[in-house]
Amino acid sequence: MNWKKIKTNADNSGFEYEGLPIFKKYSEVLKFHEPGIAPVADESGSYHINSAGEPLYEERYLRSFGFYCSLAAVCSADDGCFHINASGLPAYEQRYSWCGNFQSDICTVRNRENQYFHIDLTGSPCYADTYRYAGDFKDGYASVRRNNGLFIHINGQGIPLNAIEFLDLGVFHKCFATARDAGGWHHIDLTGKPLYVDRYLAVEPFYNGFALVETLEGQKQIVDECGNKILSF
């Protein structure tokens, strides 16, 4: 059975293959991910199955999540959160109060003191600093919230991309990121420089050269990468 063709059903209680139900009913399922493993939950707890519907291990968790970079996040009532490999073995000794998913071999976590930072595949911190919040890495950079309440972008070694701080900050997508300053939301380049002078109530990332924005008056618009208004609706 080709695991890439296995789909979750409409209420996320099971799986379908070519439109027909397979395996058993669960209380919750998530999608299959490389290398053909899916998180499921039933009366015994949460765990992972292979593409034949077989459990990968005997352990059961409070929650289990998808595999990314060959590791999956799980939450244990006794130990907290950590990552396991495809054999069900812990990838490292450290335990956290929350774990994200690995992206580009780096993962955001929250420790017992509610501090955020990033770890590598061995569970070791990527840098010495901690933050009030740390997001996923994308295109080489992550958005983090410093203890002063402001956001910056950092690279995988924790080095700031530039010295500019924002009230809120999205990830980079094709060299542009969403950002919010005192005037509102807008788009910035890798230097932190705004692409245009206007500010908005909300902005989305650019999609093939254009982005959906909402003006401070609540009007939806489409703008290009120079901030030119293409459509209003």
Give this prediction's pTM.
Answer: 0.93
Question: Is residue 39 reached through a cis peptide bond, with omega within 30 degrees of 0 on the bond before it?
Answer: no
pLDDT band at 1; cut points 50, 70, 90: confident
- Judged by phi (left if over 0) then psi (alpha if -120 to 50, else beta), residue 21 lies in beta
User: How does strand 133-134 pair with strand 142-145?
Assistant: antiparallel
Domains along the sequence of the chain with CATH: 1-91 (2.40.128.630)
Residues 6 or more apart whose Cβ sits within 8 Å of residue 45: 60, 61, 62
The length of the chain is: 233
CA-to-CA distance for 193 and 219, rounded, in angstroms?
Answer: 25
3-state secondary structure of 5: helix
pLDDT band at 138; cut points 50, 70, 90: very high
Helix, strand, coil percentages, rounded to 5, for the chain: 0, 45, 50
Structure tokens at 46: 């949460």
**Average pLDDT taken over every residue of the chain:** 97
Q: What percent of the chain has pLDDT over 70?
A: 100
pLDDT band at 11; cut points 50, 70, 90: very high
Q: Where do the DSSP E strands lie in 121-228?
A: 133-134, 142-145, 151-154, 168-173, 176-181, 184-188, 202-203, 210-214, 220-224
